[in-house]
């Protein structure tokens, strides 16, 4: 059975501006505590589109059972100030997306991952004006 990963952005904000502080909670459920080897939470951007996929990690934390009194499933909150760039963008060949990604690493190398998207900045859609 796959573990359940919940991610929640404080205030349910879908859009942030550069420099804003994003505060986020996450929790892992439906898995035995001894099954969890590590949990990684990151705030990152990635590209989508015709080109190869690029990715940049702005915030990253990796927690081991020793960091959480043996139980990595409990609620955890972190916060970080968002960078000035790159902004969320939906272009013709390129799209830049921001998200919070939580990855649960289980015994025997199994991994489960959950994402919560959000927008950074207010860039419009790419439209060709001639």
Partner 1 sequence: MARRFRFWEKKRGDRRTGSKMVGSAGEAAFFGSLFLFGTIAMAALWAPNPWITTGSKWLVGMVLASLMFIGAGGFIYTLLLVGTTTERRRALAKRARDIDLLTDALPSPRDFPNVPRDVNLTNSPGIKLAYRLPIIGSPSWRLLVVGTFTLLWTAMVSVLIILAVRKYLVGNPDWYLTVLVIPFAAVGVWAIYYWLRLLLLATAIGPTSLEISDHPIYPGRDYRVYLTQAGALRVQSLTISLVCLEEATYRQGTDTRTERRRVFEDVVFTRENFEILPGIPCEHECDLQFPTGVMHSFQSDHNAVQWRLVVRGKVERWSKFERVFPLVVYPAHQPRPVIDAPSVA
18 counts as binding partner 1 under rule CB under 8 A: yes
Of 9, 44, 68, 106, which one interacts with partner 1 (CB under 8 A)? 44
- Spell 66-104 as b/e; 16+ CB within 10 A means b: eeeeeebbeebeeebebbeebbbbeeeeeebbbbbbbbb
Of 25, 58, 65, 68, which one interacts with partner 1 (CB under 8 A)? 58
87 counts as binding partner 1 under rule CB under 8 A: yes
Residue position matching structure tokens 């991952």: 113
Please report which helix (H) or strand (E) contains residue 112, including its range. Answer: strand 111-120
Of 8, 9, 83, 114, which one interacts with partner 1 (CB under 8 A)? 83
Of 86, 106, 114, 116, which one interacts with partner 1 (CB under 8 A)? 86
17 counts as binding partner 1 under rule CB under 8 A: yes
19 counts as binding partner 1 under rule CB under 8 A: yes
């Amino acid at each position: 059975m796959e573990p359940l990963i919940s991610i929640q952005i404080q205030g349910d904000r879908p859009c942030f501006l550069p420099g804003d502080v994003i505060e986020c909670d996450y929790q892992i459920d439906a898995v035995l505590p001894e099954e969890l080897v590590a949990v990684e939470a990151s705030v990152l951007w990635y590209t989508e589109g015709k080109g190869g996929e690029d990715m940049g990690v702005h915030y990253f934390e990796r927690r081991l059972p020793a960091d959480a009194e043996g139980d990595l499933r409990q609620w955890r909150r972190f916060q970080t100030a968002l960078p000035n760039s790159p902004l969320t963008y939906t272009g013709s060949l390129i799209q830049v997306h921001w998200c919070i990604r939580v990855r649960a690493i289980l015994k025997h190398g199994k991994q489960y991952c959950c994402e919560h998207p959000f927008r950074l900045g207010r860039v419009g859609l790419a439209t060709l004006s001639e």
